[in-house]
Structure formats: C-alpha cells, structure tokens
Structure 1
Amino acid sequence: MCSTMAPEASQPDALLHACLALSRQARTQRGAALARTLDRLDAALRGLAGPAAPAAPDEAVIELDLAGYLCGWNGAAERLFGYTREEALGQHILFLYADDDDDGKIAELFADAGGAGEVRRRKKSGAVFWLRLTRTPIVDAAGDCAGMAVRLSVPREPLSEQDKVRLHARIVEDSDQGVLITDADERIVSVNGAFTRITGYAPAEAIGQTPDLLRTGRHDADLRARVRAAMTAREPWRGEIVGRRKNGELFPQSLTISAVRDEAGRLSHTFSLLSDISVHKDAEARMQRMANYDSLTGLPNRFQLNQLMTQALAGARRSAGHGALLVLDIGRIGAIGDTLGAETADQLLVAIGRLLRAALRDADILARVEGHKFVAALLGIDKREHAAIVAHKLLAALAAPILVDAHSLQVGARIGISVYPEDGLDVASLFRYADVAAAKAQQQTEPGYLFYREEMNQRAKEHLRLESELRQALAARQLQLHYQPKVSLRSGRIVGAEALLRWQHPLRGMVSPGVFIPVAEESGLVLELGGWVLDEACRQIGAWRDAGVAMPTIAVNLSARQFDGQLPARIAAALDRHGVLPQQIMLEITESLLVRGAEQVIAIMNELVAMGLALALDDFGTGYSSLAYLKKFPISTLKIDRSFVVGLPQEENDCAIARAIVTMAQQLRQEIVAEGVETVEQMRFLRGLGCDQLQGYLFSPAVPAADFAQMLREGRRLSFAA
C-alpha cells in the first residue's frame, strides 16, 4: 500500500515518493475503478499540491495509472503528438518513446525529485523532439497514490528567430574557417571574411562564380565526384585537398562539404568549411625530415635507409632483381676536426655528401648513417661487377682535394660491398656484411673497396675469438719471447738478436704472429703486449747477466701505438726494474711511424737516443717515408725487408733496390741488416754489396732463450764457405 500520510500534512514531493513505494497488490485492486474516479482524484491532487496554474491552451496534459497506461489525454496532447484520444487511451506510455530511449526508466513515473525535466518523445509521424515535462501525483480519498498527471510542452527558444539569424551570421563571419555557400546550381551565393583572407577573393569576386576558381587542375575530377556524392548523401564529406589562391599560390586545405535540404528533402544549398593547413603541413614536414633525414647533410638517415631498402628488397623478392649496398668509411675526418675545428669538419662532410650524390644515379640512395660513414644503395644492377664500377666512381669523386673555406682538404675512403640476393635479403644482414667488408678494406694501404664473402664473416668471428683468447693468454702466461740471431757479414759472429713474440696456445699449439699481431693492433691490445715484450726482454737480459752469459744488443719491436710522449718513461722504468743498461736494448720501428707528425716523433726519438738506446728502421722500403725526412731521424740501423731479399741475386729489380738501400745507408753512416736471408747466394750478394749483418734461416730461426744462450756459449759462427 502507498503511505497514508495525512493530506493536510503532505507536500507534493512527499506524495510522489509515497506513490513510487505503492505495492503491486494495491495497484491491482484499484483496476477498472480508476477511470470512474479520475475527476475526484484530480480535485484531491489540486488540494494537496496547492494552487496550480491552469494548463495553457498548447500544454498537453496526460494521466497515467501506476502501471504507466494512459487514462487521460487532452486536446493539446492530440495536437502535439498527432494521436486522437481514442488512439492514445489504454496505450502504455512507452509507445511515445523514441527507439533509442532504452535506459529502462519511465520518466513520467520514476523521475528525480523536483518533478520536472526535459525528455525526448516521438510523434505519430515518427519525428523525435524535445519536451518540457512536469509531473504531479494523483491520490485517492484514502491518501493512496492512484496515478500521475503529466504536463508536456515544447521548450521555449531562448532566442527569437531574428536574433538567431543575426547571431549565426555573426558567428559565421567571425569564424577562422572559410565558409563558402553555393546554391543547387553550384553557384557561390555567400562567403565570409575568413574565406577572403585565405583565398584572396573578395565577396564581389567570388559570388556568382563556381568553386572551380579555387581548383588547381590536380585531381579536380575526383574532387567534383566527392562533392556531388556529399550533395546526395546524408553525411558530409571531409578531407584534405590542394587549393589555389587568387595570386596562383597553391596551399593545402582541410575541407568539409555538407548539403542543405528544404522541407521536401530537395537540395537547396551546399556549404563548405575550409581551413588553411599550410603551417600544420610545414610542421609535419619538418618533423618528418627530422625523423628521416640527417640534419647536417640533408641525406636520408639510417632509419629512412632501412625503410627504403625494405621496400626495395620486397620488390626484389617478387621480381628476382639484384642490387648492392656500399658502406663508405671516409678517412681523416676526425684528424681534420681536431686540427681545424668541428665546423670545418661538418662543412667537409656536407661537401662529401654532394660529391657522392652527384656520382650516383637518381634511382640510387645515398644516406649518412653516422659520423664519417655513408651508405650507397644501388637498387637495380644487372650483375655484381656493376657495384665495383660504382665504387670506382665514388672513390674517384673523392680523389681530388676538397676546398672548404681556405683549406684544400684531402680525404679517402674504404668501401665495403654486399650484394643481394647473393649475400642476403634483409637490410640488417646486408648492412652488417658491407660493414665487415669496409673494416677489412681499412687494412689496405690505399683507398679501395672489397666485396663481402662468407669467409670474411668467419674471419671477423675468428678475430673476436682470438682477441678474447689473447687477453686470457696474457693473464695465463702463455706468451713467450724467442730470439733470432743477427750475424756479422764480416766476422760471422753473433752480434745481436731480435726478440720475437710467440704464443703457445693450449689447444691450437704455436700461433703465428702474423695471425694474432694484427688482432692486437686493431683491438688496442698491442699496448699491453708491447709493454709485456719490453719488460720480458729486460727480465731475460738480467737473467742472462746473472747467469754469466755475455749478451749482445737485443732488438725489441715497437708498435706505432706505443710511440707517445710517455714512452721514454715507460722504457726507463723497465730498464731500472731489471738493472739493464740502455746500450743493451735496440728499439725497432716501422716506416708507418715516420708519417705521423714528424716533429713530435723526432722529439721522442731524440729523447730515447739521449738515454743511450739505439733505433733501427724495420722493413725499410715497404712504407711511405720520405727520404728527405729520413736524414732527420736519429736512426742508427736500416733493415732491408725480406721482400727485397727473396729475389736475390736472380731478380734484377730486387738487386737494384738492395744496392740502392745499402748505398744510401752507407752515405748516412747507418748500419745495414738484411732480413730473411735463407741461401748462400743471397748471403754472398749482400756481403758483396757491403751489407753489415744478416738475419734469417740461413743461420737460425728464432729460438727460445735457452737455445740462444747456448749458441753464444758455443761461439757459433756463420760459415762463408761455399
């Protein structure tokens, strides 16, 4: 049952809540009697709720029982909804609800406190509209809730039609978007100020024209089709197109086209909203360039290269096409930056990029992937050899000095080449293989190129494995020094020895220096190895001295990496540590050292000589030293490289070179040692030239320390007999 609060003590809100709590049993018992007591209940309601304003002539009043069925329907309701009284009475209130009002609440019965609100309802024609709804509960004589009286009215417009027209016109005119309105014949009938600012066309110039005055000729047929589709469709068309201003300038614009129809559904007008998005497009383009292009040279970066190469490789898989990837490692950029400054180095890189780009075809890709490394992708070649032709062109482009400001700068390049599909069909593998080949090309003395081979990859892995094992060898004392005697060509006696590093690997056996020394040079281990060799040679000389063996001078090889300002101090420390005299050590250097900052090298050499150490130039004739510089270096010994000895005395050129070296050394008052002497004929020829010493298998290979000491004790000599 509903609450039985006394009518005189209740307010309408309290009665509403009481009605909502009414039990199903009470509603059922009332049944058919409700219709006969409506007038009486209405009077009671008015008495409880207080004086109420009479319904306006256009205000619909409907009455519901507690189950939501209509039992009252006035003339204004007939006019508002289109249903007659006979059609409406007995229907459930839900038949007036719009299809999408499915939240499960019946606003006429279960509303929030306050009894009023706005709702959407549906007319007999199907039109959906908004109504203002007011609810008042109906109670019977016993105070029980018997139903609900509902007043419905169309909400009043806050603006008059005239005010609305003025307001809308103001909004359109002040909008940042250009507005263009055309009639059914596609003639412009109105534009706003933003349209004039964006396009340059004043209203007088645009009205009466068609929108074709903004079109560029590009994709216009497609655009017209889209516009006509928007004119016939229910939804507007939105997109981005390129427009044309009055001055002929093209600009990107965002465009929305909508159709306007009359009451009969016929097209009457179209209106277009357009915005100039040049700034947005420029910002987007800048961000794209930052993400995909090198900021210094403007060339594609590694990310963009990957994108373009991935597309090219996908096409190559379908068409069985061929191509190549060239990694160019540009030399001397770091040295130039250190000497002339980073700005000059940057300008040089820009110039290099232009030269390389000019040497390639338009279809080829040139990218800068890091500091001094460029990549050229040849997306279409007929055969492998064509990549070599392009590599030659790129090297030739960098052969001449490059003018940057007032500097004429010389650079070179080493190029590694991988080919697809032979070497692979994914970007990462091709780049890695070309990089391996470029690193291998760095070992060449002249700028050049190398193709990748699988054995290169295996050698690279072997290189890393050797480096790791060499570090372990230093710690595990697997290294040792052997000594190759130097013999006088006058007396035949041993007058010295060269300390040569050997590696006794626990699994591989004796590892050749030609295998592990290059690994040490590339990895930087040569500094640690060189320090160990110097210290071990001094230790062994000290041990021989303590054993009573009179030792001649021992030569120790120095790497160019060891030759720095701290070298004299490091050598002095080793000599002091083992009590060795400087005269017992000769330092052997190679010609490659002489081309590195001559003045600094000479200063270090002079300091070493002042300490009492002798200097020998090893492998003479194989490097690039200038004879003009040679006389400036405090070198006491020249060693003729074995490559010039092997052909003696049969090879005329070798004979001429050996003769020239000996003559020059004699003029410079330097001692001459010939390396790699293996035959009596070679020995006799060199002796006849006036060579001072020989070193080679004719007398002895390099031997362990104990064997060398035994040779000295026995007084072993070289025999000059036939």
Structure 2
Amino acid sequence: MGRWYIMIGYIALCKKNGTVNRVIRSVPVGLINEGKNIRELFTDPFELDHILTQDLACPSSLRLRMKLEGDPLVYVTLKAYGDQLLLLVFGLDEPYQFSQLIEMTLSALEVPEVMGQDPYGAGYYEIQKLNSQLINYQQTMAKTNVRLQTLLKEMQTARSAIEILERDPLTGLFTEKVFYDRAANVLEKSADEAFDIAAVDIEQFKIVNDTFGAVAGDRLLMDLAMCLMNLPVDPPPLYTRARADTFFILLHRQKTLYDILDEHVSLFLERYPLPMRLQIRIGIYHIEDRALEVARMCDRALLAADSIKGSYGRRIAQYNHTMHEKLMLEQKIVNTMVESLQREDFQVYLQPKAEINTGRLIGAEALVRWKHPEFGMISPGDFIPVFEKNGFIYSLDLFVWRTACRMLRDWKKANRSIPISVNVSRTDLYHKDLPETLSGMCRDYDLAPDELHLEITESSYVRDSVQLLTVIRRLRQAGFIIEMDDFGSGYSSLNTLSDLPIDIIKLDMIFLRQSENNLRRQKVMQLIIDLARELDLPVIAEGVETEEQAILLKAMGCPYAQGYLYGRPMPETEFFKF
C-alpha cells in the first residue's frame, strides 16, 4: 500500500530555555514530550537559539527544517507568555489537512495556561493571529481550492455560540446528536451514493483512566480523534465522539478505504507513547436501508466492533444479519435470566472423569444447562458469554456451586463420594470475598474444601495474571484443589505452569484433536505431559471421543480423560446410577 503524508502540527508550552512544560497537541504523536527540549525537533538548533534571543512580543512565522522523515520545511511561531513560551510548529502536505490544523490550534484555547481566566482574553486573540498566518499560508498554496473556502467559512461560523454547542469540547468533533442530524441530511441529499458507518472503539479504555489518570485518557481520545481526522479521504467524512471512547464516522464507500483505515490505526497504536498494549476495534455497517435511523446504523456498526473484542488477530469486522439475530437472542436471555434462576430452569449436569488405563471413575465436572419453558434448551455457548458480560454469571455460578456442594453431601451419606469440579468464571475472580464464599459453602454442607475442585481457564490467566495469581493463592491456602481448564488454548501455557500454584492440568480438547494426525503437535503434547509429570501435576485430557484418541493418550502417559467416550453430561440421578 502506498505511503500517505501526515500533517505536522505541534503546540506546546515551554520554558524560555526550550524545555517542554506541557504538550497541548502533537501530530504525529510524541514528536517531543514533556521534559525534553524543543531544540531536538530542528536540524539546526542554533537557528532556534537565535529566535529565542529575539523579542517575542510580536512573533513572526519562520521556515525551518525539522528532523523528520523526508526533511520537510515547516513553519515555526513562538510567543512569550510571562515566564513561558507558546510554540506552534506546522507543516502541511495536502490542502484538506488545513481545516484539521486550524481545529487543533483552536482547541489550544481550552488550555488554562494559554487562556488565563478570561475565555476571550489576550491568549485567545494571539491564537487568532496565528490562525491568520495559517490562513495566508494556505491561500497561497491553493487559491482555487473550493473546498478550502468552504472550510474557512465553517471556521468563521464555528465562533458562534451555537456552533460551539455542536462540538465535543474535548476533541472538537460533532456531538452525537449533531452527527445524527447531519449524517441523515447527507444521506438524504446523496441518495445515489454509497455510504458506510464505521464505529471505532478503544478496548478497556477504563484501564487507561484508572492506571494513568484522566489526563492521559483525555489525551488518548484527542490524539485518536486527530488520527481519524487525518485519513486521506476525499470527500471528508463526518465524525463524532459519541460515547466516552467510541467514535462514529460516516464515509463514502471506497474499495481500499478500510485497508487504509486499518493501517492508519495500526501506525497510531505502534507509535503511541503509553506503556500498555492498546487495542482498537472497528465495526463497519454498509448502509442499505436508508429508512433506518442513523442512530440504529451506528448501533449496528458498534455491534460489529463488539463481535471481535478480545480477538487479537482482527481489528475490523463488517455487520451481518447473524449479528442482529445474536443481539435479539442476547436480549431474550437478559430479559428472562433472573426469573429462570428463581424458577430453577437452570440445571446442573455432570460429566464423568475417568482413569484411562482402567476406566475407573475418578470425579465429575459440573456443567450448567438452561431448559427454558418458552425457548427450549439454550446452549451454554449462547448464554455464558452474555452472563460474563453483564455480571449475572456470578449469581449463576453461586447456584452451581451450592448445587454441587449439596450433591457431594448426599453422596457422602450414600458412601459414594468422588470430587466434583466446578467452573470459576474470569469475572468471579474480581469478587474479593470469593475464597470466603466458597469456604462458607463447604462448611454449610459439611465438606472438606478438597472435595470441591475449582476449574479456572487459562485464558483468565492470560488476561488478568496478577489478579488471578492472588485469588488462586488464597483459594489453595483455604484447601481447594485448582484445575487449570483449557490448557493449551492460550498464549502463555509455559508461564502458567511455572507461575501459577495449580494442582491439575486439563488439556484443551482442540489441542487433542489437532494432535491426532499431526506428528509435530503430538511431540508438543508429549512434552507437556512429561513436563507436568516432572512437576507432579496430574493431566486430564478433555474431549476424548474415540478409542484411537484414548490409545494415543495412553501411549503418551496421560493418566486421566474426560469426554463422550467415558460419558456425556447427564442429570444427577443418571450420574448416580452411572
């Protein structure tokens, strides 16, 4: 894909020796950060020293060379404010970028150090002088550019109170309502043209605010807004920051547009100076039914973005009808989940765990099933992710844990005692009283904690290793047996073995299936089984369905298995007979 040029725009407050006190805006991101000296920007720092020694009461714009790719010529303006300097650096490659640079400059008016207490004080009018210089510069570049004239008129109109109210004060983009109105107007006037709605969403944005503070979060939103506005698209799209960290864009449909958008966002993430891995998801809705409200179009684009959250291999997804059906099913699930739990529509099934050599029963896994009176049997694959997302999974897990404890108590009275393993959801780990809750259940049903095994997925460790490690240590100290579920499906399996205080490994069924006719996979699986044996960790292979799979596992030295070959999930009464 061909390279496009990126607008250069940098506004900062500096000490008079050139040290940066605060970066107001930076495009590209991170040209010079706080604490560094602005001399690092320029090819000839002595020339900048000459400017700094001049009288800066009436600044003039000078062209200097910067240390950037392509060695572009840029304009530099400095203005003294008390014991600080306001630095403006700008350089444009394309005429359409001019409006973005003006919006970026005007946004500096929101910075208290520049404005003072008066919202239209001296700082405001000094910035206006800088804008005039920018306008003169651009007019000499493209006097006949009709689009530029339209943008300049829009900037003049933006000074009115009404226009200010239509803008998001943080990013300068349209507010959500204004975006909906203007997008509807564009779609009505351009009935013969194809348009798309794009939803751009930052994953786990709350962590940025919680970890690095609201200032860092606001800057991320402003920088992402500038990144999106800097797309080399003609005609320019409409933008809004709609919901905290969610942006919507109305774009003319173009063949390579989303490849460009993907690469543009990828470059932004690679260069962004924040010590955490940021993830941005983009959902696309191809507008077909123009009778649909713009807000509903945006919902569909956001639904597409949500469909790939947590998927590290994809950044862009397109909306389809299956997503709509899934949304409707999720709504039905949410509408009836509380009543179903109260009616005991949820049932706990048990699947046997067996010794491979002898077939002897060594335990069972408790699995939840939902028999809805109206919708019939609802698959766990449909309702578990919904419950994990809305937090209801903890209430459901409490029901499963209590039911398993009651079963264990009844079996002990009948002298047929084997351990039962229950699943602990990733979201359950955020409940600080989880160890006390489970210990209390065991006391209520007169059980030893090691009779109730706790299955925690490896993916939980990959996402929340610190939190998970703390909780698991407390659970093991309380006497519970910890089984690492779906081992081999994550990205840190060896780290899991070395770091986590676990007692049993459950090999993911997909890992087993991929090993049947793949010699290399078999060697990896053999290595894991041997390593687990050296660490005194029993291994249970999940998803064993055929005798051939059992023979393969036996040859590898895997002692235990679970799967249809040994028994399907079944109600308690059937399992007791089994």
TM-score (norm 1): 0.56
Structure 1 contact 387–417 (Cα < 8 Å) conserved: no
- How many Å separate the matches in 1 of 2:403 and 2:378? 19
Aligned to 1:257: none
Match 2:259 to one of 389, 412, 415: 389
Structure 2 contact 231–261 (Cα < 8 Å) conserved: no
Give the C-alpha shift of residue 664 in structure 1.
2.7
Give the C-alpha shift of residue 324 in structure 1.
0.7
Structure 1 contact 648–682 (Cα < 8 Å) conserved: no
Match 1:295 to one of 146, 155, 169: 169
Aligned to 1:697: 564
- How many Å separate the matches in 1 of 2:493 and 2:436? 29
After TM superposition, list the pairs within 5 Å mapping 1:318-717 onto structure 2.
320-361=192-233, 363-378=236-251, 380-382=252-254, 386=256, 388-403=258-273, 407-421=274-288, 426-442=293-309, 444-546=311-413, 548-564=414-430, 565-625=432-492, 627-711=494-578
Taking structure 1 as reference, are residues 583 and 497 closer, same or farther at Cα in structure 2, changes over 3 Å only?
Answer: same
Deviations along 1:177-205, whole A, 9 cap, x unmatched? xxxxxxxxxxxxxxxxxxxxxxxxxxxxx
Taking structure 1 as reference, are residues 667 and 354 closer, same or farther at Cα in structure 2, changes over 3 Å only?
Answer: farther
Q: In percent, how many aligned pairs have the same letter? A: 28
Give the C-alpha shift of residue 352 in structure 1.
1.6
Q: Once structures 1 and 2 are overlaid, which stretch shifts more, 385-394 or 500-509?
A: 385-394
Aligned to 2:55: none
Structure 1 contact 293–299 (Cα < 8 Å) conserved: yes
Structure 1 contact 401–410 (Cα < 8 Å) conserved: no
Aligned to 2:190: 316
User: Quick one: which amino acid aligns to residue 543 of structure 2?
Assistant: G
Give the C-alpha shift of residue 708 in structure 1.
1.7
- How many Å separate the matches in 1 of 2:325 and 2:447? 44
Structure 1 contact 499–557 (Cα < 8 Å) conserved: yes
Taking structure 1 as reference, are residues 503 and 332 closer, same or farther at Cα in structure 2, changes over 3 Å only?
Answer: closer
Give the C-alpha shift of residue 509 in structure 1.
3.1
User: Quick one: which amino acid aligns to residue 305 of structure 1?
Assistant: F
Structure 1 contact 640–661 (Cα < 8 Å) conserved: no
After TM superposition, list the pairs within 5 Å mapping 1:11-30 onto structure 2.
none
Structure 2 contact 158–164 (Cα < 8 Å) conserved: no
User: Quick one: which amino acid aligns to residue 693 of structure 1?
Assistant: Y
User: Quick one: which amino acid aligns to residue 367 of structure 1?
Assistant: T
Higher Rg: 1
Higher relative contact order (CA 8 A, sep 6+): 2
- How many Å separate the matches in 1 of 2:510 and 2:351? 18
Structure 1 contact 359–397 (Cα < 8 Å) conserved: no
- How many Å separate the matches in 1 of 2:281 and 2:157? 38
Pairs aligned (count): 425
Aligned to 2:43: none
- How many Å separate the matches in 1 of 2:419 and 2:340? 28
User: Quick one: which amino acid aligns to residue 272 of structure 2?
Assistant: I
> Helix, strand or coil: the match of 1:450?
strand
Taking structure 1 as reference, are residues 604 and 596 closer, same or farther at Cα in structure 2, changes over 3 Å only?
Answer: same
Structure 2 contact 284–318 (Cα < 8 Å) conserved: yes
Taking structure 1 as reference, are residues 452 and 609 closer, same or farther at Cα in structure 2, changes over 3 Å only?
Answer: same
Give the C-alpha shift of residue 445 in structure 1.
4.6
Taking structure 1 as reference, are residues 697 and 537 closer, same or farther at Cα in structure 2, changes over 3 Å only?
Answer: same
Structure 2 contact 406–445 (Cα < 8 Å) conserved: yes
User: Quick one: which amino acid aligns to residue 297 of structure 1?
Assistant: T
Aligned to 1:115: none
> Helix, strand or coil: the match of 2:190?
helix
- How many Å separate the matches in 1 of 2:281 and 2:216? 22
Give the C-alpha shift of residue 282 in structure 1.
8.1
- How many Å separate the matches in 2 of 1:606 and 1:429? 46
Deviations along 1:91-126, whole A, 9 cap, x unmatched? xxxxxxxxxxxxxxxxxxxxxxxxxxxxxxxxxxxx
> Helix, strand or coil: the match of 1:702?
coil
Aligned to 1:118: none
> Helix, strand or coil: the match of 1:608?
helix
Give the C-alpha shift of residue 559 in structure 1.
0.2
User: Quick one: which amino acid aligns to residue 671 of structure 1?
Assistant: P
Deviations along 1:678-708, whole A, 9 cap, x unmatched? 1111101111111120001111111111222
> Helix, strand or coil: the match of 1:359?
coil
Deviations along 1:61-91, whole A, 9 cap, x unmatched? xxxxxxxxxxxxxxxxxxxxxxxxxxxxxxx
- How many Å separate the matches in 2 of 1:387 and 1:588? 45
Aligned to 2:141: none
Give the C-alpha shift of residue 476 in structure 1.
0.3
Give the C-alpha shift of residue 545 in structure 1.
1.7
- How many Å separate the matches in 2 of 1:561 and 1:443? 15
Structure 1 contact 327–416 (Cα < 8 Å) conserved: yes
- How many Å separate the matches in 1 of 2:263 and 2:158? 36
Taking structure 1 as reference, are residues 284 and 481 closer, same or farther at Cα in structure 2, changes over 3 Å only?
Answer: closer
- How many Å separate the matches in 2 of 1:388 and 1:283? 32
> Helix, strand or coil: the match of 2:269?
coil
> Helix, strand or coil: the match of 1:563?
helix
- How many Å separate the matches in 2 of 1:556 and 1:441? 28
TM-score (norm 2): 0.69
Structure 2 contact 458–496 (Cα < 8 Å) conserved: no
- How many Å separate the matches in 1 of 2:401 and 2:385? 18
User: Quick one: which amino acid aligns to residue 368 of structure 1?
Assistant: R
Aligned to 2:52: none
Give the C-alpha shift of residue 589 in structure 1.
0.4
Structure 1 contact 325–434 (Cα < 8 Å) conserved: yes
Give the C-alpha shift of residue 426 in structure 1.
4.0
Cα RMSD between the aligned structures? 2.4
Structure 2 contact 205–245 (Cα < 8 Å) conserved: yes
> Helix, strand or coil: the match of 1:400?
helix
Give the C-alpha shift of residue 596 in structure 1.
4.3
Deviations along 1:134-168, whole A, 9 cap, x unmatched? xxxxxxxxxxxxxxxxxxxxxxxxxxxxxxxxxxx
- How many Å separate the matches in 2 of 1:443 and 1:451? 16
User: Quick one: which amino acid aligns to residue 162 of structure 2?
Assistant: Q
- How many Å separate the matches in 2 of 1:391 and 1:340? 27
User: Quick one: which amino acid aligns to residue 559 of structure 1?
Assistant: S
* Runs of 5+ consecutive residues of structure 2 not aligned to the other structure: 1-128, 133-154
> Helix, strand or coil: the match of 1:686?
helix
User: Quick one: which amino acid aligns to residue 562 of structure 1?
Assistant: D
> Helix, strand or coil: the match of 2:159?
helix
> Helix, strand or coil: the match of 2:568?
coil
User: Quick one: which amino acid aligns to residue 295 of structure 1?
Assistant: P
- How many Å separate the matches in 2 of 1:586 and 1:499? 10
Structure 1 contact 325–376 (Cα < 8 Å) conserved: yes
* Runs of 5+ consecutive residues of structure 1 not aligned to the other structure: 1-246, 251-280, 712-722
- How many Å separate the matches in 2 of 1:532 and 1:401? 47
Give the C-alpha shift of residue 357 in structure 1.
2.1
Aligned to 2:33: none
